[in-house]
Amino acid sequence: MTAIKGRDSFKSKFGVIAAAAGSAIGLGNIWKFPYITGENGGAAFLFVYLAFIAVIGLPIMLSELIIGRKAHRNAIGSFKKLAPATLWKYIGIFGVGAAFFILSFYGVVAGWSIRYIFIAFSDLSYNGAESVNAFFNSFIKNPLQPLIYQLIFMFLTGLIVIIGVQKGIEKFSKILMPILLVLIIVLDIRALTLPGASDGLRFLFHPDFGKLSFEGVLVALGHAFFSLSLGMGTLITYGSYINKKNNLIRVAINVTIADTLIAILAGIAIIPAVFAFNLEPSEGPGLIFITLPNVFKSMPGGDFFSVLFFVLLTIAALTSAISILEVVVAYFSEELKMKRRVATVFATVLISLLGIICSLSLGIYSNYTFFGLNVFDLLDFISANILLPIGGMLISLFVGWSLGKYKVFKEIAHGGSLKGSFLVIFMFLVRFLAPLAIFFVFIKGVGLID
């Protein structure tokens, strides 16, 4: 492969997929997906989510990769280059904002994961589900402890981004994600053989659409973006590191399938266990941290699996977090002309500070609420359910209408051939179906229309 002067790039084909999958697969799949599925009634939510992945997520993922590889710039610079002197560049600004918000609460949850690595060997005296619950709640409400873990996580994230794209990201993702997959399958087997697990399976796969509110539909849409790392330019930035020889369609399809598979497998590990241990599926952000310790306690070698699981979850979170930070750093360094190192330190510090507020909003600041949400939930809601869908809608409109069919064809096919029908369907999705669906779900979900 020829190196692109002055800019890092991915080495191998598998490296590209592994890095993009490393970005997509993270806390979104394993922490967030099970708990929002639990909160929004189970199977109906899952099915709507899957539909959004197929008709909105996949085409927008391909769109981001096309933009990034074509422009060969960061999320904002790409629009400036492809459509100079237009308003499109403001899409990128949305993205940088979303990245700030997401990484601030993401770092908090990743910090919990680090804490849980040490749990099996330390201070959790296990007396059934109650004690697990009490432990989690007192931990996240503590004004100091979770901050330490959050800051450790943010420090690691910043450090890897400083080391650089290829060495930092590619190496990590390749080996560890497959191990995580195997471990989740082990957990699935344990969860499914627990007494009472079948109620959980029914909840997860037997839809009752009456249980799904329109806000739930918006959450499903937001999560399609969140889980696939879409809507804020992460995959524009990654696309810009992808070699022209790579097949973008293949990258998009593989990453989407891997991401969705992991989410469903995580759901199968968590939800049946929730029912088996008489916990609440609508528990909220603490769901996996309350459910999994019970699962580990009920299996042979549970301590070992627990440590391994939280180590891998932390690493999965890390490979996602670096991709979020990368958006901000690429912007600061390429557009604002900061040195990369300086940009990374600056962004990491700012995001960590906002993260501290998120963490405290679950404890001593829990009285401060906006629209009934604490800061943690608010930043999650604004970024996943507002900024990402709007960003995604604009990205698909950009590819559909501004880039247009000819340039899209050239970038995807890249000298090779492409089935005509593929292009027709893709253009229909990005021009009409995806943006209209997002628009409709968005205005109805936030309550602008009845």
Stretch that binds ligand TRP, among 4-12, 18-26, 126-134, 291-299 (CB under 6 A): 18-26
Q: Which of 201, 324, 328, 343 binds ligand TRP (CB under 6 A)?
A: 324
Q: How far is the CB of 226 from ligand TRP (least distance, A)?
A: 5
Amino acid type, 165? V
Q: How far is the CB of 173 from ligand TRP (least distance, A)?
A: 12
* Residue number, 290 or 388, with CB nearest to ligand TRP: 388
Q: What are phi and psi of 370, to 5 degrees?
A: -130, 125
Q: Is 306 in the site for ligand TRP (CB under 6 A)?
A: no
* Residue number, 24 or 156, with CB nearest to ligand TRP: 24
Stretch that binds ligand TRP, among 52-60, 110-118, 225-233, 333-341 (CB under 6 A): 225-233
**Gap between the Cα atoms of 449 and 258, Å rounded:** 35
The closest residue (CB) to ligand TRP is 28
* Residue number, 68 or 302, with CB nearest to ligand TRP: 68
Q: Is 22 in the site for ligand TRP (CB under 6 A)?
A: no
DSSP secondary structure string for all residues of 331-388: HHHHTS---HHHHHHHHHHHHHHHHHHHHHTTTTTTT--BTTB-HHHHHHIIIIIIIH
Determine the Cα angle at 316 with ends 313 and 322, to 5°: 135
The interaxial angle of helices 43-52 and 197-205, nearest 10 deg, is 40
For residue 284, the surrounding DSSP H or E stretch is none
Q: Which of 232, 271, 313, 438 binds ligand TRP (CB under 6 A)?
A: 232
The CB density around residue 363, as the number of other CB atoms within 10 Å, is 18
**Gap between the Cα atoms of 88 and 24, Å rounded:** 25
Q: Which of 29, 78, 240, 348 binds ligand TRP (CB under 6 A)?
A: 29
* Residue number, 294 or 344, with CB nearest to ligand TRP: 344
Q: How far is the CB of 317 from ligand TRP (least distance, A)?
A: 7
Q: Which of 18, 19, 20, 27 binds ligand TRP (CB under 6 A)?
A: 27
In angstroms, what CA-CA distances link 158 with 151, 325, 442?
10, 8, 33
State both tokens at 214. Answer: 């329109």
What is the contact surface with ligand TRP in residues (CB under 6 A)? 23-24, 26-29, 102, 226-227, 229, 232, 234, 320, 323-324, 388
